[in-house]
Amino acid sequence: MLQTKQKNFTQLARVFKKTKANLNNEKINLSLIIQGNQGDETVDIINILGHQLSKQVLKNPSSDIDLFFSNVNIKVLPSFYEGCPNVLFEAMIRKTICIISVFANSDDFIIDGESGFVYDGSDEGLLQSLKSAIAIIGSEKEEQIVENAYKYATKNFSMEVMANKYEKLFKEVYEKNKSSN
């Protein structure tokens, strides 16, 4: 993943900085990980967070997805656009609370308050969703939300389901091409 303007990580950096300042007095260890290759947004992220904090936040890409998710309680997808957000499905399968912008949720992968949190694309909306997600960590509400997300992801995007869908598609294309010859 690239740190590009489309991914909207600058918004996440702004809201994280504000949230961290607001929650500083509480017993919450709030940290941010932005993992991926540098892109056209990297300098802006560094300017928002400052050089010291950005060294802790910005991480090189890794193929060890399990290690990444073992360090994550909340996955935020602030993108302006997402086609098929694989990282979202990976988070859902790992029973991680997900927050997604309304723009990235164009296919309604997340139902607000039921299988994650959807925010309106604004900084304030993201801040409110973050506060809501933080508030339910360790509660039955968190368990319910991540279980709903898990069931949705495994029902619709498991390896077996996806392989069957591709097989069906290939067969349909083959039959269509066969009959046109």
CATH class given for the domain over 5-180: alpha beta
Environment class of 3 (CB within 10 Å of its CB; exposed 0-12, middle 13-18, buried 19+) = buried
Q: What is the pTM of this model?
A: 0.85
Looking at residue 101, what is its pLDDT? 97
pLDDT bin (cut points 50, 70, 90) of residue 29 is confident
pLDDT bin (cut points 50, 70, 90) of residue 170 is confident
Q: Give, in order, the Cα–Cα distances in Å from 103 to each of 37, 82, 115, 137, 143.
A: 22, 8, 17, 25, 26
- What is d(CA 40, CA 3) in angstroms, rounded to the nearest whole number? 7
Nearest Cα residue to 34 out of 6, 60, 64, 70 = 60
pLDDT tens for each residue of 131-156 = 999 999 999 999 999 999 999 999 98
Q: What is residue 139's three-state secondary structure?
A: coil
| Domain range list for the chain | 5-180
pLDDT tens for each residue of 89-122 = 999 999 999 999 999 998 999 999 999 999 999 9
**For residue 141, how far is the Cα from the chain centroid?**
19
pLDDT tens for each residue of 9-18 = 999 999 998 8
pLDDT tens for each residue of 51-82 = 898 898 998 888 888 888 888 999 999 999 88
